[in-house]
Structure 1
Amino acid sequence: MIYVKTTVPWLADVAGAALLSWGLASGVGLIAGHATGPIAAPASGPSPLLLPAALILGGATLRAAAAFAVDRLAVGSAQALGRERRRRLWSALLGEPLTDPLSTGESTTLAIDHNTAIENRDVRFSPVRLNAAIGPLVVAAVVAPASWVAAAIMLATLLPFVLGSILAGTAARRASERQLAALSALSGLFVDRITHLPLIRHYGAEARISQQVREATRQVAKRTVAVLRAAFLSNAVLEFFAALSIALVAVYCGFSLLGLLPFRAPETLTLVPAFFVLAMAPEFYLPMRRLAAAYHEKQLGEAAEAALAPFAASPRQPAADHRFDGLHVNDLTLAFPGIAVGPLSFTLAATDLVALTGPTGSGKTSTLAAIAGQLAPAAGSATGMDGSPLPNAAVAWAAQRPLLVTGTLARNLALAAPQATPAEIGAVAEQVGLAPLLARRGGLDMAIDHAGSGLSGGERRRIGLARAILSGRPLMLCDEPTADLDAESAAAVIALLKDLSSSRCILVATHDPMLVRAAGKEIAL
């Protein structure tokens, strides 16, 4: 853990503070003519202030080295934990079943903002966590030989401070959770509305969408003010007890030196020990000051961790390599608000072409997503013929609107097969009917943006189909592969799918009666 790794540097920081404080006290004692013991040096020898100066310099250097070590350890550990967390999270968001669909904005917030919040906590709060617990005790132990009464005063102010911090921290945690939820809602709303900005402008919905964004922004501002209020309360508690502790120690030391205590002095206090105690008094609450300064990061980090908890499980281990022997769907049931699909039960051979049909909105795409492992079913399962889970590497997906990334056509086609050669990519592109596009726009090096600007719906579907073919995976799930195509192009795609079904298992969701007739079996929803 990060806070365990940084314990030794923080102890070195306390040691540096003790050296610096003793150097100051000794120097003041020498100047005032009250030095005793080895500090006092003959007038003819080296300056008696050299040793106090060396202690001050050594203590400051030790503290600087400790702070540097803490920073290096904290940043390195936080980055290592962040890489592992992102690996698990991205695997869950991109390849694991989701019980509830996430918008683009929500996914972005989970993948980026929440991870950043946790890393900030690990860098700023985690390193001072253990030090805040043991640091004051160590300082009190260092002060006790010089003045056990001053150490007792420090410890006496610690208990009410802890109780006050617990109360303030509970309020801060709740406020931070609400703030993070409001930030996630605003991020998701903003990203999704920007994505659909042309459609919003087309229908003249700017005023309504602006009102939604204003309301989400107002909620964020309201939650942020609540967090700041809790943070100020926590700091006020800390500052009150820190000031009280230092003031009580200063009063005791001053009155003891002047002989003005209203009771019999429990110990004999001289200038050098008294000054040392006063110099160390601020160090007693310094670890907790550091903790309070990073407390906001702690609350946001914990709230982010709670939000990521459903995705934080270890990634699904790939199934052991085995030959794909077919698809077995057993009582597969999907449940959404206002609609249910299933239960469905059917079997596909290792080489097959089957059509999944039904009216629009009946759940064809959702059924394909559940078989692909992208959606968690309410009941039932989709497995191999032997009952083993389908590995991700066995399923190829050709969606209605396939993912496009900014780059060349070749790069987009090769997403599922990075090892494919230009010749293989070109051959598959021609197979799916992209030859006219290649001739018209410069071949495989043609530029494509993430929105597929300049591509027709049919061309986008063919890119998805080509990608699925290039992957070489034994189970192909195709969503409306012939939609948006003219009759001749649709017939060519149907012939291609029929040919591929001699070596692969293909399940197509379709409304196309020609494709249904070409399939060996129809599953109607």
Structure 2
Amino acid sequence: MPVSFTADLDAVARPWLKTIGLAGGRARQAAPLWLLADVPAAIAFAAGLALSIDALAIDALPRGLAAAAPWLVLIAAAALARGLLARRAAEAGAKAAAGVKARARHEAVAAILGHGVARRTGGEALSAAVEGVEALDGHISRFMPARLASALAPLLIIAAIAVATPVAAAILLLTLIPFGLVMALAGGAAAEESRRQFLALERLSSLFLDRVRALPVVLAFQAEGAVTRDLSLAAEDLARRTIRVLRVAFLSSGALEFFAALSVALVAVYCGFNLLRLLPFPVPEQLDLKRAFFALALAPEVYAPLRRLAAAYHDRQAAEAAAQTLAALPAPAPAPPLVTFKAPPALRFQAVTVAYGVGETPVFEGFDLDVAPGEVVALLGPSGSGKTTLLNLLLGLAPLSGGEVLVGDRRLSHLGSIAAAVAWAGQSPLVLPGTLADNLALAWPTAARDQLEQVARIVGLAQVLDGRGGLDARLDERGAGLSGGERRRLSLARAMLKPATILLLDEPTADLDAASELALLPVIRQAAEGRTTLIATHSEVLAALADRVVRL
């Protein structure tokens, strides 16, 4: 294994996994305890088998089943307990993994959105936030609980066997050494292969995302064949690396099963020859049927925790490979403080310059505009004149390259974000899969249902409410069943519902016919009442609603 890869694991991946694992809470601590609780149940099960077999032996048949009844009850109770404990361990592991994944995904998405990582690195960061976070599941839910259980459970079971037969316990203890060596060698071989597989997945995700973004250029230059070939080569590389990981996993599993079977076979041979008095060497014990059967029943249980750990070992390698990418993401930017205003504030743009990149032509340069408190201003102009950019500037979605924006008597550059004080209706209203109520409450989740219905009827969604089951009407992510005008009304309803003192409307009547536009005008005017409002539009009819029109 390359030294640099091992150094990265020790310096980056493993500390990050340890830190993020704390998000699993109490469930993370409970999962290995449930697995360890299976040890007494396994010992009780083996003891019940041994004692019941002894009670039902040929020389004990005259006593009937009555003598074996207590041990049969013990077997049933132990089997039931083992099933319940396994279920609780699985539930605790799944709960811990859910908490860890939620925390990791939140941090990854916050880092990507807050620092523009996705724009700089293509699909790698997005792949880490999706596939990488999912790769943590097995590590938290299976490997971590199995690691603690595998360190203690075999020794506890061997100690129980030593009570019945110290020689068989010594055999099992000695065979643990090659078993552990095989696991270490298999882990070392699988670690680098897992890392290469995850890197290949990142490259394929990045390549696919970049080609989708450049699809118009690809079609324009008729490069479909070259793009298809590149994607095929990347997919084949990922398939080859996946097969290598699986090959190592299968070989290591075969070796582990061999040593486990060998150790159990040695115990079986010893117990059998001891019972028959055919051992070719002297031993300090003479076994009876009960002790021999107890050792044989428990011998496979010694390796059950180690098998569980070996089966989950690949999960560890996958998680460490993903952790290197996730840990490299920048720390999420701290959430800006919420800014609100008790009354509609004035807006003042002073010599504002907006340029999206170094060397690019500024969208605005030296732009000045004063908006009085509660005034409705329409920004009228052709496409590309910067109407949307001015609105995005207030929302923090466009860079302030020069000048200053004052909101009330406070500088926007000092405030950071005024999104909490802004109600927004954009060009393409967002529709989420869910109910109409879910979509209406998107901007103000604490709104009561009667408020939602009242606002929906004000904006003209009465037909949707009455004809599709009210607020519980189902919508998909495409807004199937909603017309273009109804989508606009949904967006305006959100803006009206939010108790904000600033209203920003970006082309609220674009792509609507004249009749639909006229029907929306009273709603827009009502939404703007008592708020400082900026409306970006091409429509002279909509601009006529404003107190002032600014032509860009």
Q: TM-score range by the shorter chain?
A: 0.5 to 0.7
Change (3 A) 1:454 1:283: closer
Change (3 A) 1:498 1:220: same
Does 1:398 pair with 2:416?
Answer: no
Q: Check whether the contact 2:34–2:89 (CA below 8 A) recurs between aligned residues.
A: no
1:235 to 253, 268, 283: 253
Where 1:397 maps in the other structure, the secondary structure is: strand
Counterpart residue number, 1:150: 168
Where 2:187 maps in the other structure, the secondary structure is: helix
Counterpart residue number, 2:294: 276
In 1: Cα distance, 2:415 partner to 2:499 partner: 20
Where 2:163 maps in the other structure, the secondary structure is: coil
Change (3 A) 1:291 1:323: farther
Deviates more, 1:124-133 or 1:99-108: 99-108
Provide Cα deviations, 1:255-295, integer angstroms capped at 9, x if missing partner: 65667767653x22323434432332211111111223344
Provide Cα deviations, 1:349-388, integer angstroms capped at 9, x if missing partner: 7656789999988998678657546799999999973745
Counterpart residue number, 2:4: none
In 2: Cα distance, 1:238 partner to 1:28 partner: 31
Q: RMSD of the alignment, in Å?
A: 6.3
In 2: Cα distance, 1:327 partner to 1:152 partner: 83
Q: Check whether the contact 1:428–1:466 (CA below 8 A) recurs between aligned residues.
A: yes
Please state how far the C-alpha of 1:82 moved relative to its aligned partner: 2.4
Does 1:134 pair with 2:134?
Answer: no
2:338 to 305, 316, 319: 319
Change (3 A) 1:285 1:453: closer
Change (3 A) 1:151 1:473: same
- Match of 2:77, as an amino acid? T
Please state how far the C-alpha of 1:55 moved relative to its aligned partner: 3.1
Structure 2 segments unaligned to the other structure (5+ residues): 1-25
Pairs aligned (count): 506
Change (3 A) 1:504 1:87: farther
After superposition, where does 1:98-113 map in structure 2 within 5 Å?
Answer: 98-100=114-116
Does 1:504 pair with 2:531?
Answer: yes
- Match of 1:425, as an amino acid? A
Using the size of structure 2 for normalisation, the TM-score is 0.64
Q: Check whether the contact 2:32–2:89 (CA below 8 A) recurs between aligned residues.
A: no
- Match of 1:283, as an amino acid? E
Counterpart residue number, 1:425: 456
State, as a whole percentage, how many aligned pairs show the same letter: 39
Does 1:68 pair with 2:84?
Answer: yes
Q: Check whether the contact 1:458–1:483 (CA below 8 A) recurs between aligned residues.
A: no
- Match of 1:72, as an amino acid? R
- Match of 1:227, as an amino acid? V
In 2: Cα distance, 1:162 partner to 1:378 partner: 61
In 1: Cα distance, 2:214 partner to 2:483 partner: 18
- Match of 1:240, as an amino acid? F
In 2: Cα distance, 1:459 partner to 1:485 partner: 11
Counterpart residue number, 2:40: 15
Change (3 A) 1:107 1:327: farther
Where 1:145 maps in the other structure, the secondary structure is: helix
In 1: Cα distance, 2:428 partner to 2:511 partner: 12
Deviates more, 1:302-311 or 1:270-279: 302-311
Structure 1 segments unaligned to the other structure (5+ residues): 34-39
Counterpart residue number, 1:36: none
Counterpart residue number, 2:30: 5
Please state how far the C-alpha of 1:226 moved relative to its aligned partner: 2.8
1:161 to 174, 179, 196: 179
Change (3 A) 1:149 1:412: closer
In 2: Cα distance, 1:171 partner to 1:340 partner: 53
Where 1:5 maps in the other structure, the secondary structure is: helix
Does 1:218 pair with 2:249?
Answer: no
Q: Check whether the contact 2:94–2:141 (CA below 8 A) recurs between aligned residues.
A: yes
In 2: Cα distance, 1:352 partner to 1:184 partner: 50
In 1: Cα distance, 2:520 partner to 2:106 partner: 33
In 1: Cα distance, 2:513 partner to 2:181 partner: 74
After superposition, where does 1:54-453 map in structure 2 within 5 Å?
Answer: 54-55=70-71, 57-75=73-91, 78-79=94-95, 82=98, 86=102, 89=105, 93=109, 97-100=113-116, 118-119=136-137, 122-176=140-194, 179=197, 214-215=232-233, 217-253=235-271, 265=283, 267-272=284-289, 273-300=291-318, 316=335, 319=338, 323=342, 351=374, 372=395, 385=410, 387-390=414-417, 392-405=419-432, 415-416=442-443, 419=448, 420-428=451-459, 450-451=477-478
In 1: Cα distance, 2:110 partner to 2:230 partner: 29
Deviates more, 1:286-295 or 1:56-65: 56-65
Q: Check whether the contact 2:421–2:500 (CA below 8 A) recurs between aligned residues.
A: yes
Please state how far the C-alpha of 1:246 moved relative to its aligned partner: 2.5
Where 2:423 maps in the other structure, the secondary structure is: strand
In 2: Cα distance, 1:157 partner to 1:413 partner: 65
In 1: Cα distance, 2:110 partner to 2:294 partner: 59
Where 1:396 maps in the other structure, the secondary structure is: strand
Change (3 A) 1:304 1:378: farther
Provide Cα deviations, 1:92-117, integer angstroms capped at 9, x if missing partner: 85999432376999999888766665
In 2: Cα distance, 1:486 partner to 1:251 partner: 89
Change (3 A) 1:256 1:399: same
Q: Check whether the contact 1:428–1:470 (CA below 8 A) recurs between aligned residues.
A: no
- Match of 2:35, as an amino acid? W
Q: Check whether the contact 2:111–2:333 (CA below 8 A) recurs between aligned residues.
A: no
In 1: Cα distance, 2:386 partner to 2:392 partner: 10
Please state how far the C-alpha of 1:489 moved relative to its aligned partner: 9.4
Where 2:257 maps in the other structure, the secondary structure is: helix
Change (3 A) 1:402 1:31: closer
In 1: Cα distance, 2:165 partner to 2:361 partner: 75
Deviates more, 1:398-407 or 1:135-144: 398-407
Please state how far the C-alpha of 1:138 moved relative to its aligned partner: 0.8
In 2: Cα distance, 1:507 partner to 1:212 partner: 47
Deviates more, 1:114-123 or 1:312-321: 312-321
Provide Cα deviations, 1:402-457, integer angstroms capped at 9, x if missing partner: 21346898985664355445453344459xxxx9x99xx99x99998644679898
Q: Check whether the contact 1:125–1:298 (CA below 8 A) recurs between aligned residues.
A: yes
In 1: Cα distance, 2:134 partner to 2:342 partner: 41
Q: Check whether the contact 1:396–1:477 (CA below 8 A) recurs between aligned residues.
A: yes
